[in-house]
Amino acid sequence: MKIRLLGTAAGGGLPQWNCGCVDCTAARRTGAARSQDCLAVSGDGRAWYLVNASPDLRSQLLTAPELAPAPGTRDTPLHGVLLTSGELDHTIGLLTLREAAALTVHATAPVRRALHSAFPVGPLLAPYTKAQWHTVTPGEPVQLAGGLRADPFALGGKRPRYAADLPGEDGPDRTDWVTGYRFTEQDGGACAVYAPGLADWTPAVDRAVAGADVVLLDGTFSTADELAERTGGARRSPGMGHLAVRDSLPHLARNPGPRYLYTHLNNTNPLAHPASPGTAGLLAELAAAGAAVAEDGLLLEL
């Protein structure tokens, strides 16, 4: 199995275009930028799938040699997209793929409905490419080309803001608005978990990470009060659908074995720029738990 981390920042990236905070200013000065979170995964190195489609997708694809078209063709190894949520920073890039000859998109039922109504990506793509939409149900495996299996697991019921009033849902507490995926080779070989939107550490997460080789976890905020402390706002990370890094570290200690990498880092998170002052202590905590910070462009071969 091969995994290419195309981007590792939360929505807005680093630096965020309209932010002049100390961290974004430093990122502009040093060039230590991060693009918005997106992943490419393959079971055989030939058939590739995106997990989420970020607003930065075009530039991300151009930096991934595995996803380039063969000389003289317009055909790429990209077979489809699996969505972990309907958030704008996970779905806007679908429109970038409109030139594809064909495209498969895997999403849960509420995300599919949102992307065909409140944010009508499906109808917008239809005149440009042959898009096939498949419903993902937590607990039901998805068989992918290249000998890869994706097992989705529910992570939370946080809707995108644009879908707050979407009718026909079972209520705000349904848990399949946000999902993670456990990818395994069909011969029982390598295993990787991707969960960039982790609201709480549930028994489903315990089951997903058990026996995995690598786990890519939600690293949006370093602490639950980070956003309030650094921007003066009042929102805490649990209310935004993200378990803070410091609150997930004890669970890593309970589940030793995998290589843990934190991704989906907000521009306020000191881990997004680990060379900055004051991050050494937190990085030491991560290392003690067998974890590290993911970087854009990292290629994992399992």
pTM of the model: 0.95
Tens of pLDDT, residues 173-231 = 678 999 999 999 988 789 999 999 999 999 999 999 999 999 999 999 988 878 777 66
* Mean pLDDT score of the chain: 92
**Which two three-digit tokens encode residue 224?**
């639950």
In contact, 84 and 38? CB cutoff 8 Å:
no
Give the start-to-end residue ranges of the domains of the chain.
2-301
Grade residue 84 by pLDDT with cuts at 50, 70 and 90: very high
Tens of pLDDT, residues 265-287 = 999 899 998 777 778 889 999 99
Range of lowest pLDDT (69-73, 273-277, 279-283, 294-298): 273-277
Q: CA triplet 73, 134, 296: central angle to 5 degrees?
A: 60
Let me know how long the chain is: 302
| Mean pLDDT computed over 46-68 | 97
**Positions of E strands within 209-267:** 214-218, 259-263
Rounded CA-CA distance 143/56 in Å is 27
Range of lowest pLDDT (67-76, 119-128, 238-247): 238-247
Rounded CA-CA distance 222/265 in Å is 9
In contact, 173 and 122? CB cutoff 8 Å:
no
| Per-residue confidence (pLDDT) for residue 15, from 0 to 100 | 95
Q: What superfamily would CATH give domain 2-301?
A: Ribonuclease Z/Hydroxyacylglutathione hydrolase-like (3.60.15.10)
Amino acid at 262: Y
